[in-house]
Amino acid sequence: MSPYRRFSKAALLSLIDVFKESYTYHSGALTYHFLLSMAPLTVILINLLGFLPLIELSRIEETIDQIFPQYTNKVIHEILEVQKRSKETSAIALGLSYFFSVGFIRYLGKAFSFVSEGELTERRELFYWVFMPAFLLGLVLIISSSFFLSIYLKLVVPKNYSVIIDLSYVLPGTLTLFALYRSFIRGSFSILKLLAISAYVSFLMFASQLGFTWYIANVFKGSLLYGSLTTIIISLLWINLIFLTLLYGARLIYRLRREP
């Protein structure tokens, strides 16, 4: 059997496994842990917005005065208090985000071990506490590199070939997934196969992102109230789908190892 047919067969069987087994339970749990780790980071970003020159307190005051004139002074007072404690709240939020992120990676190892039947294994506790900051640093470097790559492509590639620019985002996703899967794989595994799996899963995630973006651009604008509520639900479903695709890739690693 050719490598392409072997990969296609393993991909199809893995997809069937996703629907047969309780992978949605693990993807839902990963979504929950991910949101726990992201919530404190939101506090940090809000505090950082106060240092941007484009954000003026006077404009915020005018907006609040138009909506809630009787509470303007109280709201501005609370904003000023938050600004005074921005360093403390950012430090606490950073610590909480790191703690929950470690829990997220730890559960990711358990989910990988379950869907791959031990081909991707859980690691020792020290791995999670050390791997987490290293992984985040690598992720920042990859995202930064992809950002500059996309800018370069926009300058040199004609607008008619904008799809090439869009597909360039698959590359950082491939590198991130490759590093993530490789960190949990037990024993040796072909680098080419792992790169192929990572690229395949990254493309699926990219396709789901296009679907989500299309919804935001075409459906969200239809209703301010119901569109907003639906967008929150769709966003959660989209994050869940991302993690389900991630687990699908782990199952694919198992299938390719078991295939003769």
Domain that holds residue 211: 3-37+91-258
DSSP 157: S
Q: Could you tell me if residue 70 is inside a domain?
A: no
Q: Could you tell me if residue 247 is inside a domain?
A: yes
Q: Could you tell me if residue 62 is inside a domain?
A: no
Q: Could you tell me if residue 77 is inside a domain?
A: no
Which of 169, 179, 50 has the alpha carbon at shortest distance from 108? 179
Min mean pLDDT across 65-69, 189-193, 241-245 is at 65-69
Q: Could you tell me if residue 128 is inside a domain?
A: yes
Which of 79, 150, 117, 163 has the alpha carbon at shortest distance from 256? 117
Q: Is the predicted pLDDT of residue 152 greater than 80, yes or no?
A: no
Q: How many domains does the chain have?
A: 1
The residue whose two tokens read 């890739």 is 249
Is the pLDDT higher at 69 or at 123? 123
Is the pLDDT higher at 58 or at 153? 153
Q: Could you tell me if residue 218 is inside a domain?
A: yes
